């Protein structure tokens, strides 16, 4: 069945698709967004029930391979030390993200000019700055002004609480003379635009029952729908179709009943992020595009970047209550973020300080470490470890490498029979050196803060939140997939607005930049409406 042609069809209702939909809505065009999942219900999130600590690892697991919702597609990540984590539904992975919201730095856009590695971006920080600011205002971002790690910026809301652990770790940073700052967070610390403030439920990464986390389902989507955008859930796009002139004509998708449908569109925007976007483009093969759509450069799916992550924790004297507060956001140090020629690796990393563990996790992790035993010593050991730990993560800049890639699995498919993505990824020597440096600094930090015990878990597997670089932007069609405003070099009415267009990964959580890019691209499209396909 062929549906009526729409002006703009956006594929994916996550962070970038939602922002682009909202921005384009004021054109008065017929804008439709197709999302393979459904609306998440705040009342279904684990923190509504007493068994939240167990439920978060089951039906709200961040791994699609564990969660296995109807809307999820399997991901073959056997050939990668990092597993992909995501969420498929309205709001995309913002439903489960930590909402840690650091911007890129100006230097991140000029890595080749400054450091001779990778490629420069075709845009710079100051071009994107108004869109960072607009995005902060649209969704509600909290933080403390005056961070010396950035050019001047103002956030709409005051910071979320650091808690007692913030004082302890802050004193440790000060002892070493290192930069630290309360984390910018896409969590509202005060009532904002009809939503109530964060009440420190804790498990942000299994969905926010309060609605205080600024995920796209509770921020952009209500605004976009009010502005006239049509959002169709339960629609899984199989391929983007093209005509004889090589222009996109729409998509073929499966509806909620699994029936094949066709949707025509004048403009197609892909917003499925660093794994979903190359998967869709590679699945969109045709006579004109036998290697997948928009892939004349051969770079669709290549240069996957995921931010290798080292996890360490320190234990302190009782009374820290470190298990309380928004789990994934507390303090960020950018002391080692910028390049330093005296180090043995290129670029840098962030040190992210996050909260401690709730009771069940404390007991199980303590048992697995050999710290919390069976028998008579159990209760005293539990008291020693509960509410006393501070997590220190090293988020390493992942430089692009062609062999790190997303391809189509030859056998695995989703429930509609669409080829699943396969990840081939290995840690570079540069990443390993950077992680080693970060591990040593993390230990120094915890010792300076007075930790009585330090556990280093090394590089962790389930850290593939940040999926970047697999359809990168650039001015040269031979070395990039989209141009400097997100338009495919090969298909003039096809745009990409998600993390796949990142040229380099920087060293922090990418969602604020993904949304700023989506707003920037949508704005540029609006300014060029008269000659959009020239």
Partner 1 sequence: MNDEMIKTDRVITQSQADTLAALLSHIIPASQDGRMPAATDIEFESYVASIEPNFAAELPSALDYLAFVAGSKMRFEALTDAAQQAAIEQSQQKLNKFYSILTPIVFACYYQNEKVLEGLGLESRAPFPKGNDVELGDLSLLDPVRTRGPIWRQSDEG
Residues in contact with partner 1 by the rule CB under 8 A: 45, 47-54, 105-107, 109-110, 113-114, 124-125, 144, 146, 148-151, 159, 161-164, 166-167, 170-171, 173-174, 177, 179-182, 199-203, 209-210, 321, 324-325, 334-335, 338-339, 359-360, 362-364, 367-368, 374-376, 378-379, 386
Q: Rank residues 72 and 147 by Cβ distance to partner 1 and give the closer one.
A: 147
User: Measured from the CB of residue 167, what is the shortest distance to partner 1 in angstroms?
Assistant: 5
- CA–CA dist 88, 85 (Å, integer): 10
What is the residue-wise DSSP string for 401-442? Answer: -TTSEEEEEEEEE-TTSPEEEEEE----HHHHHHHHHHHHHH
Q: How far is the CB of 306 from partner 1 (least distance, A)?
A: 24
- In the complex, least distance from residue 343 CB atom to partner 1, rounded to whole angstroms: 14
DSSP letter assigned to residue 301: T
| For partner 1, the closer CB: 45 or 131 | 45
Residues 446, 428: Cα–Cα separation, whole Å: 27
**Dihedral, CA atoms, 438, 442, 448, 450, nearest 10 degrees?**
-170
CB-nearer residue toward partner 1: 303 or 362: 362
Nearer to partner 1, 355 or 422 (CB): 355
**Which of 236, 229, 294, 228 lies closest to 263 in space, CA to CA?**
236
Residue 108 Cβ vs partner 1, minimum distance, rounded to whole Å: 9
Reported as type and span, the H/E element at residue 240 is: strand 236-242
- C-alpha 534/C-alpha 528 separation (Å) is 9
Please name which of 336, 349, 472, 344 lies closest in space to residue 404, comparing C-alpha atoms: 472
Nearer of residues 167 and 413 to partner 1, judged by Cβ: 167
Within 8 A by CB and 6+ apart from 295, the residues are 281, 282, 289, 481, 490
3-class state of residue 348 by DSSP? coil
Rounded to a whole number of angstroms, the minimum distance from the CB of residue 330 to partner 1 is 9
Max CA-CA distance within the chain?
76
Least distance from partner 1 to the Cβ atom of residue 190, Å: 12
State both tokens at 131.
Answer: 């869109």
Q: Residue 518: which H helix or E strand, with range? A: helix 511-527
Contact between 443 and 455 (Cβ < 8 Å): no
Closer to partner 1 at the Cβ: 257 or 342? 342
Q: Pick between residue 82 and residue 503 the one whose CB is nearest to partner 1.
A: 503
- State which residue, 132 or 386, has the beta carbon closest to partner 1: 386
* Least distance between partner 1 and beta carbon 126 (Å): 9
Whether the CB-CB separation of 236 and 70 falls below 8 Å is answered with no
Count each helix (H run) and each strand (E run) in the chain, helices first: 12, 16
d(C-alpha 14, C-alpha 36), whole Å: 11
The minimum distance between CB 532 and partner 1, in angstroms, equals 30
Choice between 51 and 344, CB closer to partner 1: 51
DSSP character at residue 204: G
State the residue for tokens 């390493």. Answer: 396
**Using CA atoms, how far apart are residues 250 and 8, in angstroms rounded to an integer?**
9
CB of 508 to partner 1, least distance (A): 13
Residue 146: CB atoms within 10 Å: 10
CB-wise, 210 or 263, nearer to partner 1? 210
Nearer of residues 151 and 258 to partner 1, judged by Cβ: 151
Q: Among 239, 215, 223, which Cα is nearest to 34's?
A: 239
* Minimum separation from the CB atom of position 117 to partner 1 (A): 14
Alpha-helical (H) ranges within 284-428 are: 359-369, 378-385
Q: Whose Cβ is closer to partner 1: residue 145's or residue 243's?
A: 145
CB of 204 to partner 1, least distance (A): 11
Task: State in angstroms the smallest separation of the CB of 364 from partner 1.
Answer: 5
- Which residue number, 28 or 158, has a Cβ lying nearer to partner 1? 158
Q: What's the min distance (Å) between Cβ of 155 and partner 1?
A: 14
Q: What one-character-per-residue DSSP string does 71-118 give?
A: T----EEEE-SS-B----STTGGGGTS--B-PPPPGGGGGHHHHHSSS
Displacement of CA 154 from its chain's centroid (Å): 22
Strand partners, 11: 34, 270
């Amino acid at each position: 069945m062929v549906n009526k042609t729409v002006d703009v069809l956006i594929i994916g209702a996550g962070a970038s698709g939602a922002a682009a939909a909202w921005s384009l809505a004021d054109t008065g065009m017929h804008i439709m967004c197709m999302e393979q999942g459904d609306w998440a219900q705040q009342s279904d999130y684990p923190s509504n029930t007493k068994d939240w600590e167990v439920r978060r690892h089951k039906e709200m697991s961040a791994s699609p391979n564990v969660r296995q919702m109807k809307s999820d597609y399997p991901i073959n990540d056997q050939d990668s030390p990092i597993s992909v984590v995501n969420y498929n539904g309205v709001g995309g992975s913002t439903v489960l993200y930590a909402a840690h919201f650091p911007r890129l730095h100006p230097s991140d856009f000029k890595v080749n000019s400054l450091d001779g590695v990778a490629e420069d971006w075709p845009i710079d920080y100051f071009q994107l700055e108004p869109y960072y600011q607009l995005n902060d205002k649209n969704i509600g971002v909290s933080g403390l002004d005056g961070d010396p790690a950035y050019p001047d910026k103002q956030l709409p809301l005051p910071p979320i609480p650091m808690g007692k652990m913030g004082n302890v770790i802050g004193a440790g940073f000060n002892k070493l003379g290192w930069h630290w700052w309360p984390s910018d967070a896409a969590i509202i610390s005060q009532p904002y635009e009809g939503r109530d403030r964060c009440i420190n439920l804790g498990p942000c990464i299994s969905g926010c029952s309060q609605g205080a986390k600024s995920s796209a389902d509770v921020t952009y989507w209500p605004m976009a729908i009010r502005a006239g955008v049509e959002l169709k859930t339960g629609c899984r796009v199989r391929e983007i179709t093209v005509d004889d002139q090589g222009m996109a004509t729409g998509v073929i998708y499966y509806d909620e009943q699994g029936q094949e449908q066709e949707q025509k569109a004048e403009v197609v925007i892909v917003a499925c992020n660093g794994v979903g976007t190359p998967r869709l483009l590679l699945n969109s093969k045709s006579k004109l595009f036998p290697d997948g759509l928009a892939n004349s450069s051969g770079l669709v799916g290549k240069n996957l970047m995921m931010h290798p992550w080292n996890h360490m924790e320190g234990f302190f004297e009782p009374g820290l209550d470190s298990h309380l507060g928004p789990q994934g956001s507390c303090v960020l140090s950018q002391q080692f973020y910028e390049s330093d020629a005296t180090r043995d690796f290129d670029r840098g990393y962030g040190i992210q300080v996050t909260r401690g563990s709730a009771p069940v996790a404390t007991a199980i992790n303590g048992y697995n470490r050999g710290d919390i035993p069976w028998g008579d010593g159990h209760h005293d050991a539990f008291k020693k470890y509960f509410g006393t730990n501070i997590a220190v993560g090293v988020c390493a800049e992942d430089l692009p490498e062609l062999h790190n890639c997303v391809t189509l699995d030859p056998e695995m498919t989703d429930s509609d029979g669409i080829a699943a993505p396969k990840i081939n990824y290995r840690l570079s020597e540069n990443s390993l050196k950077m992680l080693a440096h970060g591990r040593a600094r993390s230990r120094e930090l915890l010792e300076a803060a007075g930790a009585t015990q330090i556990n280093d878990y090394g590089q962790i597997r389930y850290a593939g939140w940040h999926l970047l670089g697999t359809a990168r932007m650039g001015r040269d069609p031979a070395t990039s997939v989209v141009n400097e405003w997100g338009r495919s070099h090969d298909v003039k009415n096809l745009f990409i607005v998600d993390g796949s267009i990142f040229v380099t990964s920087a060293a922090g959580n990418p969602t604020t930049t993904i949304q700023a890019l989506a707003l920037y691209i949508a704005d540029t499209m609006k300014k060029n409406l008269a000659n959009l396909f020239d």
